Structure 1
Amino acid sequence: MDTHTLLVHVLLYVFLPLWGIAGFVDWCCHRATHIEETSGLKETLMHSAMGIQVGIPILMCLLYRINVLVLLICLLAWVLHEVVAHWDVHYAAPRRHISIWEMHAHSYLASLPFYMLAMIMVINWPVVIDLVSLNWAGQMRLIPVEVPHGGERYLPYYLTFMALLCVFPYMEENLRCLRHYLKHGGNSA
Structure 2
Amino acid sequence: METGQLLINALLFVFLPLWGIAGFVDWCCHRATRIESTSGLKESLMHSVMGIQVGIPILMCLLFRVNVLVLLVCLAAWVLHETIAHWDVHYASTRRKITIWEMHAHSYLATLPFYMLAMIFVINWPVVLDLVQFNWQGQMQLQRMEYAHGGEQYLTYYLIFMAIVCGLPYLEENVRCLRQALRKEAPAV
TM norm. shorter chain > 0.5: yes
SS of 1:91's equivalent in the other structure is helix
> 1:147 Cα deviation (Å)?
2.9
Residues 18-39 of structure 1 deviation map (CA, whole Å, 9 limit, x = unaligned): 0000000000000000000000
Deviation for aligned residue 1:148: 2.4
How far is the alpha carbon of 1:2 from its aligned partner? Answer: 1.2
Number of positions where the alignment pairs a residue of Structure 1 with one of Structure 2: 186
Aligned to 1:90: 90
Maintained 8 Å contact 1:24/1:169: yes
Give the corresponding residue for 2:41: 41
Q: Aligned with 1:87: secondary structure?
A: helix
Mapping for residues 93-104 of structure 1, pairs under 5 Å:
93-104=93-104
Indicate whether 1:32 and 2:43 are aligned.
no
Matches within 5 A, 1:1-189: 1-185=1-185
Query: Do 1:64 and 1:145's aligned partners in 2 also have CA atoms closer than 8 Å?
Result: yes
Structure 1 runs not aligned, ≥5 long: none
Structure 1 residue 149: Cα displacement:
1.9
**C-alpha deviation, 1:146, in angstroms:** 2.1
8 Å CA contact 1:64, 1:148 repeated in 2:
no
C-alpha distance in structure 2 between counterparts of 1:23 and 1:79, whole Å: 18
Asked whether the 8 Å contact 1:29–1:99 carries over to 2, the reply is yes
User: Distance between the aligned counterparts of 1:149 and 1:89, measured in 2?
Assistant: 34
Which runs of structure 1 show a deviation greater than 3 angstroms over 4 or more consecutive aligned residues? none
How far did 1:44 drift? 0.2
Displacement of 1:150: 1.8
Per-residue displacement from partner, 1:3-22 (whole Å, max 9, x unpaired)? 11110100100000000000
- 1:151 shift after superposition: 1.7
Between the aligned residues of both structures, percent identity stands at 74
Offset, 1:89: 0.1
User: Equivalents in 2 of 1:158, 1:147: separation in Å?
Assistant: 16
Q: Tell me the CA shift for residue 122 of structure 1.
A: 0.2
Deviations 1:101-125 (A, max 9, x none): 0000000000000000000000000
CA RMSD of aligned residues (A): 0.7
Paired amino acid for 2:49: A
| Distance (Å, rounded) in 1 between the aligned partners of 2:16 and 2:140 | 26
State the AA in 2 paired with 1:158: Y
Please, which runs of 5 or more residues in structure 2 have no aligned partner? none
Which residue type is aligned with residue 18 of structure 2? L
Q: Distance in 2 between matches of 1:59 and 1:20?
A: 14
